[in-house]
Amino acid sequence: AARPFEQVPGERRGGWLNLYRFWQEGGLHNVHNIMARKFQRFGPIYREKLGVYESINIISPRDAATLFRSEGMMPERFSVPPWVAYRDYRNKPYGVLLKKGEAWRSDRLTLNKEVLSPQVVEGFVPLLSEVGEDFVRRARAQVQKSGRERWTADFSHELFRFALESVCHVLYGERLGLLQDFVDPEAQRFIDAVTLMFHTTSPMLYLPPALLRGLNTRTWRDHVHAWDAIFTQADKCIQNVYRDLRLQRKSSREYMGILSSLLLQDKLPLDDIKASVTEMMAGGVDTTSVTLQWAMFELARSPGTQEQLRTEVLAAKHKVAGDRVKMLKTTPLLKAAIKETLRLHPVAVTLQRYTVQEVVLQDYRIPPKTLVQVGLYAMGRDPEVFPKPEQFSPERWLLPGSKHFKGLSFGFGPRQCLGRRIAELEMQLFLMHILENFKIETKRAVEVGTKFDLILLPDKPIYLTLRPL
């Protein structure tokens, strides 16, 4: 028989003392490294209590498989307390990100049809490709302007704008024009608000929502302001589309974007549509832009791999006369490069689920309703799971039988990332266009680490050079 729950290794200190130590040791921006160290110290399973939250942490793909296979029809993850506290404080409805149970499931099934299903997703390709082409155009203009046949910069702000432009094009069927010289200050405020929202979440991550709502600290106030700005701006975009639809300003033949489809379908109440569309708009900025930054950085450091990708992309382009949908079907290495980027640089430090029945992990019996976290960052760098983990090598994803519960960057199952297909297409098309037009370079010697700011980010600016081919 399996061992009892109480015997799972870990520290036995109280949660508040732990949280205090954690603060003191600068753990705030270092959650990922602290976890990796704990797996080294305690082995592939350990328990932890921070503040009021107790969790079991696992690292092996086999345990992840056990966890996800028993997650049921309405999986629940850790509900980020400051996000819940804000919605309750302002009396704003939850979207799929924060809903639970049947309410989550019915919203999610309706959204899946418009955001994830293969038929609609193919329709996103021209919209996202267009934004990628604009980025190339802008980059060429910057090269011209520099007078040095190259463009060297920290691309993070450019990529934030690219990402917001992309997600808005598929959500609203409209362009914001963020890749021109003049950028709408409201859009820039939205981008800054999302970054601030993530940044102010982490210090309050382990405090219960009820406590947060009454707080009057700088962090909580900034957090509220950030979400206020996010909701106000998203609401403006949503109202625009709503008005155009009522005035029938758009022809009903062309694809009008996710929001219009949801409104015309009339299956979800308007408030629920708004809540989830706002979450997608906010969720679509930092996630893909940071991943693209890492991808370009890794490709710049591995010129051989970069050249292989370019060869694949150019061959695909040649074969199908530039049809992007078809190109995406013949570029496995490009897709593997994105998976490989997310292995080393995941957006989410962990995946989490509350167990619904008893499961056995590493021969310990884990009772129902336990918070279990899969250490995604630690798994991606574990030599037992990925041989030579420090090497950026997309080919490892093309070896047969090597992927079992290892490619988990977007989560798993019915609760996985809703924006997954948008994110993947956006990133694949972006890299395609870049590889077709530029060489990506960087100063070889610079090491860049990772910082936890709720999502994982580069700990310093990354300078890259684009050089026209």
Residues that bind ligand 2DC (CB under 6 A): 77-78, 80, 97, 205, 279, 282-283, 287, 347-350, 352, 417, 454-455
What is the number of the residue whose Cβ is closest to ligand 2DC? 283
- With respect to ligand 2DC, which residue has the nearer C-beta, 302 or 409? 409
Q: What angle do CA 74, 80, 86 make, to 5 degrees?
A: 115
Binding residue for ligand HEM, selected from 167, 277, 300, 462, defined by CB under 6 A = 167
Q: State in angstroms the smallest separation of the CB of 448 from ligand HEM.
A: 18
Q: Minimum distance between the CB of residue 150 and ligand 2DC, rounded to whole angstroms?
A: 33
CB-nearer residue toward ligand 2DC: 220 or 452: 452
416 interface partner picked from ligand 2DC, ligand HEM, none, CB below 5 to 8 A per type = ligand HEM
Beta carbon of residue 361, minimum distance to ligand HEM (angstroms, whole number): 17
Is the Cβ of residue 77 or residue 250 nearer to ligand 2DC in the bound state?
Answer: 77
Residues 109-138 that bind ligand HEM (CB under 6 A): none
C-alpha distance from residue 170 to each of 132, 166, 358, 421 (Å): 13, 7, 41, 11
Query: Shortest CA distance to 381 belongs to which of 66, 59, 63, 67?
Result: 59
429 binding ligand HEM? (CB under 6 A): no
Whether the Cβ atoms of residue 17 and residue 435 lie closer than 8 Å to each other: no
Sign of the dihedral defined by the CA atoms of residues 13, 15, 20, 24, in that order: positive
215 burial type by CB count under 10 A (0-12 exposed, 13-18 middle, 19+ buried): middle
The CA-CA-CA angle for residues 293, 297, 301, to 5°, reads 170
Q: What pairing do the DSSP bridges indicate for beta strands 359-361 and 364-366?
A: antiparallel
By CB under 6 A, name the one of 348, 359, 361, 366 that touches ligand HEM. 348
Q: Which two tokens stand for residue 44?
A: 């592939």
* Contact yes or no for 239/278 (Cβ under 8 A): no
Question: Which one, 103 or 315, has the nearer CB to ligand 2DC?
Answer: 103
Residue from 47, 223, 274, 415 in contact with ligand HEM (CB under 6 A) = 415
Q: What is d(CA 352, CA 375) in angstroms, rounded to the nearest whole number? A: 9
Q: Does 283 bind ligand HEM (CB under 6 A)?
A: yes
314 binds, among ligand HEM, ligand 2DC, none (CB under 5 to 8 A by kind): none
Question: Which of 279, 312, 340, 382 is the binder for ligand HEM (CB under 6 A)?
Answer: 279
- As measured in angstroms, the least distance from the Cβ of 320 to ligand HEM is 26
Give least dist CB 231 to ligand 2DC, A. Answer: 10
Residues numbered 45 to 84 that lie near ligand HEM (CB under 6 A) are 77
Q: Does 331 bind ligand HEM (CB under 6 A)?
A: no
Q: Of ligand HEM, ligand 2DC, none, which one does residue 302 interact with (CB within 5 to 8 Å by kind)?
A: none
Q: With b meaning 16 or more CB within 10 Å and e meaning fewer, what string describes 117-154?
A: eeebbeebbebbbebbebbbebbeeebeeeeeebbbbe
**DSSP assignment, residue 35?**
H
Q: Which residues pair with 360 in a beta bridge?
A: 365
Give whole-number Cα distances, 100 to 6, 250, 450, in Å.
29, 35, 32
**CA 339 → CA 295, 345, 403, distances in Å?**
10, 10, 11
Out of ligand HEM, ligand 2DC, none, which partner does residue 409 contact, by CB within 5 to 8 A per kind? ligand HEM
Q: How far is the CB of 427 from ligand HEM (least distance, A)?
A: 7
Among 36, 85, 96, 241, binds ligand HEM (CB under 6 A): 96
Give the closest residue to 170 by CA, choosing from 136, 126, 110: 126
Pairing, β 53-58 against β 359-361: unpaired
Nearer to ligand 2DC, 350 or 442 (CB): 350
Position 411 contacts ligand HEM (CB under 6 A): yes
Q: Does the protein bind ligand HEM through residue 345 (CB under 6 A)?
A: no
Q: Which does 108 bind (CB under 5 to 8 A by kind): ligand 2DC, ligand HEM, none?
A: ligand HEM
**Any contact of residue 164 with ligand HEM (CB under 6 A)?**
no
